[in-house]
Amino acid sequence: MHHAYPNFPSRTWAEVDLGAVRHNVGTLKRRAPNSGLMAVVKADAYGHGAVPVSRAVLEAGADSLAVVTAEEGAELREAGIEAPILVFTDLLPEGLALAERARLTVTAHSLESARRILAHSGMEAHLKVNTGMNRWGVGPEEVGEIRKILAQRLTGVYTHFASADSDEEATRRQIEAFRAVLSAHDFGGAIVHAANSAATLWHPSSNYGCVRPGVALYGMHPRGDGGDPADEGLRPALALKSYVADVRTVAPSEGVSYGLKWRAERPTRVATVPVGYAEGYRRALSNGSFALIGGERCPLLGRVTMDASVFGVDGEVRVGDEVVLVGEQGGETLRAEEVARWAGTINYEVTTGLNPRRVERSYRDVQGH
């Protein structure tokens, strides 16, 4: 596949298929047919672009959105998005002031945060209960006091699972602990939510009145570094692409890249691709990754550098050819889960780690796609 340079959006870019995002919303709604859907669009929608993704998920049937900072929520409001937006994490006074201006719903994580929220008249809050994740949230013994402090301002109650993707017994214990809290207190008409992507798919008893998927919205598998999203009816939304900037032949015993950690055993054609760890293509992939060039899997040779990586290719490759680092080309596929395994990480980090200053996003949206 040959391209002239002017056709490229930038050195390295991400193509986001909003039609796939819409499809994934539909898949998740079918898996939890009696629940509303809160779309988690934190971290710039896991690297996919918070504003366009938020518009797409809401049009596809999501009821509300969730973010992690007041700034993330304010960005969506400034873009004209009017749906309810929940901020997951604890906010200091400055964050609460911004949340109030942006009409965001906030989270009470402790007695102290509940009192800070109380100082902002009219601000609605959800109560987060710690049932075993031990990161944020109040213990079950504090729920009654916070319920009294916030009273009618409390419009939701939720918990978060530590291992819904991997430990059925631990998840069952968390579900039971949360159920006990719900039984012990009258939350009136508050929204109850607990299920992340993994729980939405595999623990239907936790779906309650609202599910809260994140990674699955983007067509990535909740297990992070394993599983095929297609098995769950999900379609990956992001492709990471670059181009061949240089092609040369490396002589036997010559190496490439910093430290010369790969050396040629025979004359080898190599392609330099302008993608490196400054783009978010992780250095941990050095000598252990592949890219699709000309529809073939081409091995990464030597170290990933800040601005470039080198791949072994055949003689048909030319300067200007498209390179796929995540996605599909010529019938071959590189999924984010596979790249994550090579890097010793999870698919979440593959997409959220893309540097927006170096990786331009482009969008397509085929309705019903």
Q: Which residue numbers are catalytic? A: 42, 258
Answer whether 4's CB lies under 8 Å from 353's CB: no
Rounded CA-CA distance 131/164 in Å is 13
Counting DSSP H helices and E strands in the chain, the numbers are 11, 20
- How many residues are listed for the chain in this entry? 369
Beta strand 191-193 with 322-329: parallel, antiparallel or unpaired?
unpaired
Q: For residue 242, give both structure tokens.
A: 């670059």
Rounded CA-CA distance 221/314 in Å is 32
User: Where is 104: in which H helix or E strand?
Assistant: none
- Residue 251 DSSP label: P
Beta strand spans in the chain (E): 12-17, 36-40, 64-67, 85-87, 106-108, 125-128, 154-158, 191-193, 210-211, 238-243, 246-250, 255-256, 262-263, 268-273, 290-293, 296-299, 309-313, 322-329, 332-334, 359-364
User: In the Cβ-directed half-sphere of 51, how many Cα atoms lie within 13 Å?
Assistant: 10
Q: For residue 105, give both structure tokens.
A: 């719903």
* Other C-beta atoms lying within 10 Å of the C-beta of residue 46: 25
Beta strand 322-329 with 290-293: parallel, antiparallel or unpaired?
antiparallel
DSSP-assigned states of every residue in 293-308: ETTEEEEB-S---SS-
DSSP-assigned states of every residue in 13-59: EEEEEHHHHHHHHHHHHHHSTTSEEEEE-HHHHHHT-HHHHHHHHHH
